[in-house]
Amino acid sequence: MTQDLARIRAFVQVFDAGGFSAAARIHGRSKALLSKYVTDLEDYLGVRLMNRTTRKLSLTEAGEAYYREVREILSQLDDLDATITDQSAAPRGILRVSAPRNFGERTLLDPLFEFTRQHPDVTLDLRLEDRMVDLVEEGIDVALRISRMPDTSLIARKIAETSVAVCATPGVIRAYGAPKTPEALKGVPCIVDTNMTGQANWQFVEDGRTVTVHVDGPVKVNSPVGSLVAAQKGLGFALLPSFLSDSAISKGELVPVLTDFLPQRPFLQAVYPHRRHLSGKVRALIDFLVEWFETNSVNT
């Protein structure tokens, strides 16, 4: 098997280099050995793979088909070798991570910086921004998102559950009453986070079916923190992620309502480009975050 791989690799190296002499210089092998390997491969397959002249080297029709397939196989083997080596070693190198700004600042900084502290050979390049980044185009290793992953070109691993709350100040509750059903929100002032999926169309579950309620009110803001502050100022009911609302609720500043009607929310997920093998540093970070959210009482 080792000899077969050596012959196949020699064939690919010679064609990629444009000739036997060039391949010998690049890969530190003799021209005679490379020629022998390619000839042995052709004899084994029973077809000519290359047309050789003193000035030019080209592939035959069979050679072109064979080259396309074996080059991909060699690439996969090299990728797998690098991944196994990477996983057996301590995480190292630049780790580019993308996350939403508000969620990142409130919830992710602690675990991400702790991971970096525990792995001194890792350089964390953290991008906190609310736009949907193109992981491949921008060279991002992993994005931390609260989503349902509609993009099938990416792979996602669940890190933690998420939850939300509809809440308002005690004063707003006294003025408008606590809504008993989602439909009751149509008659009260609501704060719209335009950054949120659905924006003014809030979704609930009632009698086992999804109900969408269009809300309106005095404030529209493209920030969950902005929605929190507006709610705390008594400007209306807000739909807030738990990582923002929990503290205000525990202090009595906000009162949750409609808790029996809240739908299952998307998960906090680690999203990364579709690759056959995941690098060790990314795998280590994802494993660390899963354990972190399991063992720390952090609500998302």
pLDDT tens, position by position, 170-191: 999 999 999 999 999 998 999 9
DSSP class per residue in 29-48 = --HHHHHHHHHHHHHHHTS-
Closest CA to 87 of 297, 280, 225: 280
Q: Which amino acid would we find at residue 94?
A: I
Is CATH 3.40.190.10 the classification given to domain 93-160+266-295? yes
Please write the tens of the pLDDT for every residue from 48-105: 999 887 677 889 999 889 988 888 788 777 766 666 666 556 788 889 999 988 888 8
For 287, the 3-state DSSP assignment is helix
pLDDT of residue 89: 65
Q: Which amino acid is at 112?
A: L
Domain segments of the chain as ranges: 5-85, 93-160+266-295, 164-256
Task: State the burial class of residue 172 (Cβ atoms within 10 Å of its Cβ: 0-12, 13-18, 19+).
Answer: buried
* Identical topology for domains 5-85 and 93-160+266-295: no
33 vs 135 pLDDT, higher one: 33
Give the length of the chain. 300
Give the C-alpha separation, 194 to 200, whole Å. Answer: 7
Confidence check: pLDDT of 279 > 90: no
Question: Lowest-confidence range among 83-92, 95-104, 230-239, 281-290?
Answer: 83-92
Helix (H) / strand (E) element for 179: namely none
What end-to-end distance do the CA atoms of the chain give, in Å? 51
Considering the domain 5-85 in this protein, what is its CATH number? 1.10.10.10
Does pTM top 0.75 for this prediction? Answer: no
- Looking at every residue in the chain, the average pLDDT score rounds to 85
* Strand boundaries in the chain, DSSP class E: 50-52, 57-59, 93-99, 122-128, 142-147, 154-160, 164-168, 190-193, 201-206, 209-214, 219-221, 237-241, 255-257, 267-273
Task: Give yes or no for residue 145 having a pLDDT over 90.
Answer: no
What count of Cα atoms within 13 Å lies in the side-chain half-sphere of residue 29? Answer: 19
Taking alpha carbons only, the member of 85, 99, 84 closest to residue 129 is 99
Sequence-distant (≥ 6) Cβ neighbours of residue 130 within 8 angstroms: 100, 101, 102, 195, 222
- Closest by CA to 159, choosing from 297, 292, 250, is 292
DSSP string, 80-91: HHHHHHHHHSPP
164-256: CATH topology is D-Maltodextrin-Binding Protein; domain 2 (3.40.190)
Identify the band that residue 29 occupies on the pLDDT scale cut at 50, 70 and 90: confident
